[in-house]
């Protein structure tokens, strides 16, 4: 209901009314009836109906499917879906690539989905990676969740596996999705901050919604600042069903595992990249594919038999929970390879439309209440964003399987339908197109006949009520350096929150229920009293740690596709450069030769050596490691070059492997850098390569971090 406020008192306005001022005042007066202040008002629908429960979708029983008749949920999400044009409301900043999926073997015992049957068949895919919060112009390396959406163009129709790089989500019920996104988006009064969650409305919401605790700690971990899109895991988030030809159903969770390993940036590096190379992630993906370093992910599933659905100390339908791999291992299904970049960003990456409701025979949904809402929401969003119901006819969305039905006309229709009957059944066109009975060969889609016998209620299942055990599991599973990064992330983000009561609530009512040490460390950094205990009783669970959750355990064991900067000036030792380049190439890694400028450098024997870029043009944050070849004149020049010295200091601060050859040892002495497992020096390039490559393979020299913090950013 609109609240009409009294008009401004013109006598209080300085100056005498002029015609322009009078017109302005009249305009302000006329707008007053449209202004609304919700203070003291009941929550209502857009039709004025008071809302009794804004937390839960109407379901058939507490764990049953969501009901289409829920007009409150539909109104809320429909309005939300149409709030932005033309870019996506969330996941607006994205990049994509083409590729293929190939199953390892025939998985007919698990599912009748055709693309998981024939190991010799390559199923085309298109993948879109994205950030969640920011608009299209925001940075790639901000702290955020990453979307990981895969469209399989199967012979039986399109299957969209629409997930994230984190296996859980902030909310349990789709009716809360607009609230969460409104909270994390830039604040409405000043449209700040862009692409980040470090502000009051986000932390106000999550500190009031304990179910978000697990996802928030993932977002405060290094998972939210991935090293590259190629080194991200992907997850379907929800529990789905796989159904075989005999009608046997099993619950599954989908996982994508990169063959490149899983690792992240450090926070200072992520912030600098956001300024120096906004397109860092999309550029890395594009260049890897162009160079033939095709990114690969293994698709696997965790399988839960129907009769074991309730065997866990959590609910497998709860999207804020994982199934730890130590309890249910991942069964590999096949591999996805991305091998072709788009020809046109708008026509492909921007117009691709993913919908969780796009499934094929052999795959079906569970009653996860967040998934149930997404099935409605995504299609509704695409209708608005892509200008009508025919978005499936755009080339990037068009299935390889034919589509025939009575759905005709509307905006942007490109199919020229023949025949006079646009309805079914008909006798005019011989009855075509006709239904395909499920029992027939290549039968039609049949929903799993799950029995539902429950009251229509708005209620959260009691099995969804534990909000802190898995957040605690995640924190306990981290390595020491990962825990320190989580503490630093909470401290940074909450330090940006203006209202102290929000900071205190997050510390005392959320963090203290996850881990008291975490809460006390963050409280100390914020200048708040340290909580003595949590506000809820700690639940005993079957698992205290899950090593599979720590990125420290997810490295690939090689240095394939890693990037090494080679710093050189006039007088450089060309033989050392050549030896290191050959050694890196043999391991599948890449080297770039960088000079003081983009001009060629002269080798010690006077030959011109082209460089790939200047040190300023390709800063250390764009590389995984640094090699400095010897050559007395070159090292003398680099010793007096502020850019070169900063290059090494920054690489050292970001815990990267550094190898100094011959006279380059002088740079270590000049900068007063402590030697460690990743800061190496020697006169023989061949002897340097083994420890240097081993340090690169560890991703970072984590033991250096306490010393590196003392170096100014």
Which residue(s) pair with 44 in the sheet? 50
No. of H helices and E strands in the chain?
19, 20
Alpha-carbon distance 709 to 705, whole Å?
A: 6
Most distant pair of Cα atoms in the chain: their distance: 90
Alpha-carbon distance 366 to 65, whole Å?
A: 8
Helix (H) or strand (E) holding 434: none
Helix (H, G, I), strand (E, B) or coil at 234: strand
Candidates 630, 675, 635; CA nearest to 652 is 675
Whether 410 and 389 have beta carbons less than 8 Å apart is answered as yes
- Please return the burial class of 366, using the count of CB atoms within 10 Å of its CB with bins 0-12, 13-18 and 19+: buried
Tokens of 165: 């790089």
Task: Please tell me whether the peptide bond between 571 and the residue prior to it is cis, using omega within 30 degrees of 0.
Answer: no
Alpha-carbon distance 118 to 105, whole Å?
A: 7
91 has catalytic annotation: yes
CB burial string 452-483: b at 16+ within 10 A, e below: eeeeeebebbebbebbbbbbbbbbebbeebbb
Strands 157-164 and 625-628: unpaired
Q: Which position among 56, 164, 390, 508 bears the catalytic label?
A: 164
Q: Which residues contact 667 (CB under 8 A, 6 or more apart)?
A: 628, 635, 638, 639, 645, 648, 660
Helix (H, G, I), strand (E, B) or coil at 135: coil
What is the edge-to-edge ordering of all strands in the sheet holding 657-661?
Answer: 613-614, 590-595, 563-567, 625-628, 657-661, 679-682
Q: How far is CA 104 from CA 11, 84, 113, 118, 295, in A?
A: 80, 41, 14, 8, 17
Alpha-carbon distance 372 to 174, whole Å?
A: 7
Alpha-carbon distance 202 to 184, whole Å?
A: 5
699 has catalytic annotation: no
| Torsion from C-alpha of 369, 370, 375, 376, nearest 10 degrees | 90
Alpha-carbon distance 75 to 65, whole Å?
A: 18
Q: Which position among 56, 91, 158, 367 bears the catalytic label?
A: 91
SS3 track for 437-477:
CCCCCCCCCCCCCCCCCCCEECCCCHHHCCCCHHHHHHHHH
Helix (H, G, I), strand (E, B) or coil at 709: coil
- Please return the burial class of 605, using the count of CB atoms within 10 Å of its CB with bins 0-12, 13-18 and 19+: exposed
Which residues are catalytic, by number?
91, 164
């Amino acid at each position: 209901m609109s609240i009409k406020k009294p008009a401004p008192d013109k006598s209080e306005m300085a100056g005498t009314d002029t015609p322009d001022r009078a017109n302005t005042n009249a305009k302000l007066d006329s707008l007053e009836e449209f202004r609304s202040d919700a203070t003291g008002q009941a929550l209502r629908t857009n039709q004025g109906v008071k809302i009794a429960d804004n937390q839960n979708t109407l379901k058939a029983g507490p764990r049953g499917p969501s009901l289409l008749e829920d007009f409150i949920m539909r109104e809320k999400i429909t309005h939300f879906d149409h709030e932005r044009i033309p870019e996506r409301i969330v996941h607006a900043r994205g990049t994509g690539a083409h590729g293929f999926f190939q199953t390892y073997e025939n998985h007919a015992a698990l599912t009748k989905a055709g693309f998981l049957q024939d190991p010799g068949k390559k199923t085309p895919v298109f993948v879109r990676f994205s950030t969640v919060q920011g608009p299209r112009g925001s940075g790639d390396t901000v702290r955020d969740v990453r979307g990981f959406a895969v469209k399989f163009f199967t012979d039986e129709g399109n299957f969209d596996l629409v997930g994230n790089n984190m296996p859980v989500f902030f909310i349990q019920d789709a009716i809360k999705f607009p609230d969460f996104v409104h909270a994390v988006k830039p604040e409405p009064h000043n449209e700040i901050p862009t692409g980040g969650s470090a502000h009051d409305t986000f932390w106000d919401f999550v500190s009031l919604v304990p179910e978000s605790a697990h996802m928030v700690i993932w977002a405060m971990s290094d998972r939210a600042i991935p090293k590259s899109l190629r080194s991200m895991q992907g997850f379907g988030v929800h529990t789905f069903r796989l159904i075989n030809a005999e009608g046997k159903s099993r619950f599954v969770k989908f996982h994508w595992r990169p063959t490149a390993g899983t690792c992240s940036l450090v926070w200072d590096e992520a912030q600098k990249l956001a300024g120096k190379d906004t397109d860092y992630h999309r550029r890395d993906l594009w260049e890897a594919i162009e160079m033939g370093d095709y990114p690969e992910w293994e698709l696997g599933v965790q399988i839960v038999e129907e009769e074991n659905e309730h065997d866990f100390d959590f609910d497998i339908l709860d999207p804020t929970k994982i199934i730890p791999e130590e309890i249910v291992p991942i069964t590999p299904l096949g591999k996805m390879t991305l091998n072709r970049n788009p020809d046109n960003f708008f026509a492909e990456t921007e117009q691709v439309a993913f919908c969780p409701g796009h499934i094929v025979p052999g795959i079906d949904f569970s009653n996860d209440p967040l998934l149930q809402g997404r099935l409605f929401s995504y299609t509704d969003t695409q209708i608005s964003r892509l200008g009508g119901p025919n978005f499936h006819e755009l080339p990037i969305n068009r299935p390889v399987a034919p589509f025939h039905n009575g759905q005709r006309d509307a905006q942007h229709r490109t199919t020229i339908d023949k025949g006079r009957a646009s309805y079914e059944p008909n006798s005019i066109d011989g009855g075509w197109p006709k239904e395909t009975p499920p029992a027939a060969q290549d039968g039609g889609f049949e929903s799993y006949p799950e029995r539902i016998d429950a009251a229509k209620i708005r209620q959260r299942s009691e099995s969804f009520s534990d909000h802190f055990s898995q957040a605690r599991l995640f924190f306990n599973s981290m390595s020491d350096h990962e825990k320190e990064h989580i503490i630093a992330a909470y401290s940074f983000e909450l330090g940006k929150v203006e209202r102290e009561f929000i900071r205190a609530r997050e510390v005392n009512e959320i963090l203290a229920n996850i881990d008291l040490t975490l809460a006390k460390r963050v409280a100390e950094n914020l200048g708040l009293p340290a909580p003595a205990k949590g506000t809820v009783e700690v639940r005993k669970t079957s698992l205290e740690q899950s090593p599979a959750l720590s990125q420290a355990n997810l490295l690939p064991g090689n240095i394939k596709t890693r990037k090494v900067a080679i710093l050189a000036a006039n007088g450089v030792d060309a033989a050392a450069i050549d030896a290191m380049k050959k050694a890196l190439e043999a391991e599948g890694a890449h080297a770039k030769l960088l000079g003081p400028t983009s001009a060629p450098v002269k080798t010690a024997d006077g030959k011109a050596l082209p460089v790939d870029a200047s040190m300023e043009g390709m800063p250390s944050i764009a590389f995984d490691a640094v090699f400095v070849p010897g050559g007395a004149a070159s090292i003398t020049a680099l010793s007096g070059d502020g850019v070169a010295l900063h290059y090494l200091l920054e690489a050292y601060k970001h815990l990267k492997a550094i190898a100094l050859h011959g006279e380059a040892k002088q740079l270590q002495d000049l900068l007063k850098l402590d030697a460690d497992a990743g800061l190496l020096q020697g006169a023989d390039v061949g002897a340097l390569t083994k420890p240097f490559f081993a340090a690169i393979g560890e991703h970072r020299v984590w033991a250096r971090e306490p010393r590196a913090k003392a170096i100014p950013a």
